[in-house]
Amino acid sequence: MKSPESSSKAQSRPSWDKYFLEIAKVVASRSTCPRASVGAVIVKDNRIIATGYNGSLPSEPHCTDVGCLVINGHCERAVHAETNAVAQAAKMGLAIDGATMYYYDSLNRPSGSCLKCSQVMAAAGIKRLVYLGGELDINWLKRLPSESK
């Protein structure tokens, strides 16, 4: 027979989505661009494959040290969290085809709002994208209008 204490623990246990979103929030705390703290966690079969946060390239100066390099409203010094997570998996030789990406942004912007990051995720085989506001269909790129002739 379960004790009342053990059943209350089971009821408060977070879903996998909530659990990995919380981890993405912790990953975001490593961000080195003061404009936003963003974290990404790539998960396959409920196991973390890679993480990434927005920040400068390895061994390059951080925005927090030398300031942001803002061009057209975007910091070009910082690599986006989604791209960093995909790059980390690639560097380690880890397959992410069919994986889920969990995304946290301190400004509460949905991932997928950056076309380049969406392209990287789609090309790498990310099939599902979860953020605080819900889920985004990673296949939205396939529905972009074709170029006018």
Structure token digits, residue 86: 């995909």
Beta bridge partners of 100: 43, 128
The answer to whether 147 is a known catalytic residue is no
Q: Which of 22, 82, 135, 147 is catalytic?
A: 82
**Rounded alpha-carbon distances, angstroms, from residue 25 to 31, 52, 63, 76, 101:** 10, 11, 20, 22, 13
DSSP output for 1-65: ---HHHHHHHHHPPPHHHHHHHHHHHHHTT---TT--EEEEEEETTEEEEEEESBPPTTSPPHHH
**E runs forming strands in 84-131:** 100-105, 128-131
Query: Is residue 111 a contact partner of residue 82, using CB atoms and an 8 Å limit?
Result: yes
Instruction: Tell me which residues are annotated as active site.
Output: 82
